[in-house]
Amino acid sequence: MKLKLALLLLLILLSIFVKSQDAKVLRIGFYNVENFFDPFVDSTREYNEFTEQGEQRWNYFRYKKKRTNMYKTIMAMGAGKPLSLLGLCEIENDFVLRDLIFSTPLKQFNYQYINYPSPDRRGIDVGIIYRPEQLRLIYSEPIPLKDPENPRFRSRDMLYASFLVEDTDTIHVYVNHWPSRWGGEIATKPLRMLAAKRLRHHLDSIRENVNPHANFIIMGDFNDTPDEVSITQGLRALPIEEVADEGDLVNLFTPQRDLGYIGTLKYQYNWQIFDMLIVSQSLYKAKKGMHYKPGSAQIFHAPFLFVEDERYMGDKLFRTYIGPKYQGGFSDHLPIYMDLLVGEE
């Protein structure tokens, strides 16, 4: 009898262990890398401040330092394991993406990249690096942002990509870098609402024409906080407690959540959240298949990303430049991430 009980207990423990191995973790991140320019003159653009002859005195040595800093941060975000997908903004072009994934130790992970040139006046784009053995690219395209009232308006395109995840289900990813507050928060607010509605229209078309229960991950530097109308009304991304309609999105970066840190960027004394990860209800509420790992959304805040803030107290972000003065740091934003589970919890 005792032997039978022991065998039964062993079988129960074994089944629990096997079940715990079912779920595979894919870490998904986003990082505004702040002016990740190559050091070469772009003859097709007027903006060439990040060159050896430009105002920032950007050269190959400083560029390589920046590249190393980006690699260090990306690996630290995954706690030594490679991220499955990382959205990036403020990259100049596909050269810096290729160099990042092929000329650093990231090359061992077989990353691929997605990038489309956009009409931004400074020439900065958004992009994605991803591991094709986990995420098989189905389709990608840029989503232009145009202002019908101002034909001269130019901004970063948004980036859309769909992937087959671990050969199980499809996910739709959007990378954003919405218009900045340069020129005043109030004056530029309509431009961010314009971006929100353009993005919302695109994902609604997928819900209507492809799959009403499509899985979405929306990431980016939105240049607005989670409670701004561009996020809550334009995009309809809300805290899970306020989600009411079937089409509402879940904002994982609402301020009241435990995100590990108080903000993603600092202005004078104040930390704010501009960088966010937003998911569909299908990912948030599911318990098996492909789904969001509860509580995994975090602001990555390793000590090496900070320096002492002598003027405004506490810490501030260790940037590459402050104005024209070279610092040799990382970025003016903290990166963020979440975990996607494939299988049962």
Residue pLDDT, tens place only, 179-210 = 999 888 999 999 999 999 999 999 999 999 99
- Which among 99, 102, 95, 73 is positioned nearest to 86, based on CA atoms? 73
Query: What pLDDT sits at residue 9?
Result: 46
**Average pLDDT of the segment spanning 107-112:** 97
Confidence of residue 5 (pLDDT cuts 50, 70, 90): very low
pTM over 0.75: yes
Angle at the Cα of 231 from the Cα atoms of 227 and 235, rounded to 5 degrees: 150
Residue 254: burial class (beta carbons within 10 Å; 0-12, 13-18, 19+): buried
Beta-bridged to residue 271, according to DSSP, are 266
- Whether 159 contacts 145, CB under 8 Å: no
- Whether 216 contacts 280, CB under 8 Å: yes
Least confident of 181-190, 240-249, 260-269, 327-336: 181-190
For residue 287, pLDDT beyond 50 = yes
Query: What pLDDT sits at residue 345?
Result: 62
- Whether 283 contacts 338, CB under 8 Å: no
Chain segment 27-83, per-residue pLDDT in tens: 999 999 999 999 998 877 888 899 999 999 999 999 999 999 999 999 999 998 999
Domains and CATH numbers, the chain: 26-342 (3.60.10.10)
Confidence of residue 22 (pLDDT cuts 50, 70, 90): low
Structure tokens that stand for 226 in this block: 């989670």
